[in-house]
Amino acid sequence: MLEELGLGEIQSEGWETLGWIPSDRQLEIFNILYEQILAGNQRLNLTRITDPVGFWEKHLWDSLRGVVPWLSGDKLPLRVIDIGTGAGFPGVPIAIAIPTAEVTLLDSTGKKIAFLQTLIPRLGLENAIPYLGRVEAIAQQSDHRQSYDLVVLRAVAAATVAAEYSLPLLKIGGVAVLYRGQWTPPEQQELQNAIAPLGGKLDSVESFVTPVTESVRHCVYLRKIKPTPDRFPRPVGIPTQKPLG
C-alpha cells in the first residue's frame, strides 16, 4: 500500500539513510503491516499515526534507526526483547529486518498482545513472539533473566525506569537501546546514577533527525558489564513510583 500511494521513492531514499535496503519480500511485509495496523485501529486504539508517510517515518524508519549496528552486522542469532511493544514497535520492524533475531514482544495490556497474536501469522513472521506480562515480573524468571543480547524500549518510561526494566534481562555484554525524543544533561546524570548499581554502563548517546519531518531524536545505548543484583527490578510498580537515580 505504501508504494501504491507513491511512497516507493521516499522509501528507497529514506532507507539509504540507515545504510540498509530492504528486500522486495521485506517491503511487502512492511506493506501488510501498515494495512493491518490501519485495520486494527478501527477496533483498537493502536496509533495516532495513520498517514503513510508518518507511518513510514515514525513507525518503520524510527524503529530501525535504533538498531542500525545490528542491521548490517554479522547474521548471528540474536535474542531480542521489546519491552512495552504496544502495537509492535519497534519490535515488529526489527523482526522483519533481522531474520536471524528472535524477538519477544512484551506488553502488559491483553488487547495489544491479542492484536499481535493475529498480526504475526498474517505477516508470515516466525521469529516474533507476543508475550503478555509485566516486565518487573518476567525479568525475575530464569528463562528471561540475563537471557537477551538486545533490549529495546520506546515510549514506555523515564530513562532511569527503562534502565531498571532492561538491564536485568540482558546477558553480560548485551545492549539496551532506549529510544528517546529530547535528551538533556540532567536526564543523562540521573541515568548514570541509576545504571551503576544495575551493572550497566552508558555506551553512547546518538542524536539524529528523522528524514521527513526532521524531528530530533536520541538513542541511548546501555551495556551490561556485570550481573544485576537479584533485588532488581523491584516489584511491579515500584520502579515508576520510586525511580532510581
84 touching ligand SAM, by CB under 6 A: yes
Coil, helix or strand for 202?
Answer: strand
Q: Which of 39, 76, 155, 238 binds ligand SAM (CB under 6 A)?
A: 155
Q: How many residues bind ligand SAM (CB under 6 A)?
A: 16
**H helices of 67-207, where?**
68-71, 91-97, 110-123, 135-138, 159-166, 185-195
Among 30, 89, 148, 183, binds ligand SAM (CB under 6 A): 89
* Cβ-based nearer residue to ligand SAM, 146 or 240: 240
Q: Does 135 bind ligand SAM (CB under 6 A)?
A: yes
Q: Which one-letter DSSP state was computed for residue 64?
A: H
Query: What's the min distance (Å) between Cβ of 147 and ligand SAM?
Result: 16
Identify the residue among 17, 26, 31, 108 touching ligand SAM (CB under 6 A): 108
**DSSP labels for 167-178?**
GGGEEEEEEEEE
Q: Are 83 and 157 in contact (CB under 8 A)?
A: no
One-letter amino acid for residue 133 of the chain: G
Q: How far is the CB of 209 from ligand SAM (least distance, A)?
A: 18
E strand or H helix at 14: helix 8-16
Binding mask 35-74 for ligand SAM (x = CB under 6 A): ----------------------------------------
Q: Which amino acid is at 180?
A: R
How far is 217 from 215, CA to CA, in rounded Å? Answer: 6
User: According to CB under 6 A, which one of 12, 23, 109, 184 is a site residue for ligand SAM?
Assistant: 109
Within a 10 A sphere around the Cβ of 99, how many other Cβ atoms? 14
Single residue of 86, 130, 200, 211 touching ligand SAM by CB under 6 A: 86
Nearest to 213 by CA among 48, 19, 55: 55
Contacts to ligand SAM by CB under 6 A:
83-86, 89, 106-109, 112, 134-136, 154-156
